[in-house]
Amino acid sequence: MRYAARRRLAVISFTAPALLGITIFFVYPLVASVFLSFTKFDLLSTPRWVGFDNYAFMFEDASLRKAVYNTAWLVAVMVPAKVLGSLLTGFLLTKYRKASGFYRTIFYLPYLAPPVAATIAFVALFKPGTGPVNAILESVGIDGPLWFNDPDLSKPSLTLLLLWGMGDLVVIFLAAMLDVPTALYEAAELDGANAWHKMRHITLPTISPVILFAVITTTIATLQYFTQAAVAASVASDQATTGGGISSTFGYPQESTFTYPLWLYVVGFRYGAMGYANALAVVLFLVAFSVTVILLRRNKAFLGGAS
């Protein structure tokens, strides 16, 4: 009995720092946000209880509907594009034997660039009139589009920016594929399996936990898409803003890049509606949590296996 008590005490001692950190930096802010989402206040006033008014107002918020549409579009397009693009690139890199380190470095380097600097450089490359991309297209007789300045192309342009910096997932998939036992491929070849059969029945099932991890983390990151959308809109609009005016360029052009986190920021720090901003944050958390639970439960079906 005394041994069991000492063992429990040792376990508590080792896990206490982590539990303390989770309580301070996750549980307390989450509980506080849920409580504050039922209040109305700004940074200078005391919270006043308003019940479900903040949540009810979401159904009347036209800007929120636009932000939800843009974020849903980005999730529907960016997540498959990044996961499939990284998977394909990682697979191709496993086939390179010569200068493999060079190619892996080339694909990983853009990910190391700070998001703000990388976004500014990327938008400058596609800048109509001055960017080298349109200059190259014009040299071969093609009129370059407006890219980030066109409401119809701004979100696809952000997707290109995401694919440019997908080096993190490429490295993860590459490591997972190189870890697949070669004996499995040799046995499949003896049975007459071609490249597609080996990919479908050996590679994908073996790295399925990595694929699930990639889908979940990419989905959560896209739901929180903020920095690149804000910086790209500011650079494309040619407006230099600082301090409280920085949100004036959010969504350029024509609110086509106005994401859910950007609207949350505007509500809280431009309009000072902190209670409503907390309600938006709680809804975003619930959506991300629900998507994660659904993906975990449907893991086998998502990867084509039996559920």
For 227-271, the pLDDT digits (tens) are 999 999 988 987 766 555 667 788 889 999 999 999 999 999 989
Write the Ramachandran bin of 254: left for phi over 0, alpha for psi from -120 to 50, otherwise beta.
left
- Cα separation, 235 vs 227, in Å, equals 12
**Stretch (H or E) spanning 201:** none
Residue 77 has a pLDDT of: 97
Q: What is the mean pLDDT of residues 107-131?
A: 91
Mean pLDDT of the chain: 90
pLDDT of residue 122: 93
% residues pLDDT > 70 (the chain):
94
pLDDT value for 2: 74
**Cα–Cα distance measured from residue 132 to residue 135, given in angstroms and rounded to the nearest whole number:** 5
Tens of pLDDT along 137-193?
999 999 889 999 999 999 999 999 999 999 999 999 999 999 999 999 999 999 888
Which pLDDT belongs to residue 300?
A: 62
> SS3 helix, strand, coil % of the chain, rounded to 5?
75, 0, 25
The answer, yes or no, to whether residue 97 has pLDDT greater than 90, is no
Look at residues 188, 197, 215, 203 and name the one whose alpha carbon lies nearest to residue 91.
203
**Is residue 128 a contact partner of residue 237, using CB atoms and an 8 Å limit?**
no
Task: Say yes or no to pLDDT of 8 above 90.
Answer: no
What pTM, to 2 d.p., does this model score?
Answer: 0.88
Please report which confidence band the pLDDT of residue 96 belongs to, taking 50, 70 and 90 as the band edges.
confident
pLDDT at 307: 40
Query: At which residue do the structure tokens 């990639």 appear?
Result: 214
pLDDT at position 241 is 61
Residue 152's identity, in one-letter code, is: D
Q: What are residue 99's phi and psi, to 5 degrees?
A: 55, 35
Q: What is the pLDDT of residues 17-61, one digit of tens each?
A: 999 999 999 999 999 999 999 999 988 889 999 999 999 999 999
Q: Which residues make Cβ contacts (< 8 Å) with residue 57, sequence separation at least 6?
A: 276
* pLDDT at position 281 over 80: yes
pLDDT value at position 306? 44
* Four-residue CA torsion sign, 224, 226, 228, 229: positive
Strand partners, 40: 48
Is residue 92's pLDDT more than 70? yes
The answer to whether residues 281 and 264 touch, using CB atoms and an 8 Å cutoff, is yes
Q: Please, which pLDDT band fits residue 130 given cuts at 50, 70 and 90?
A: confident
Q: Per-residue confidence at 280, pLDDT binned at 50, 70, 90? A: very high
Percent of the chain with pLDDT over 90: 71
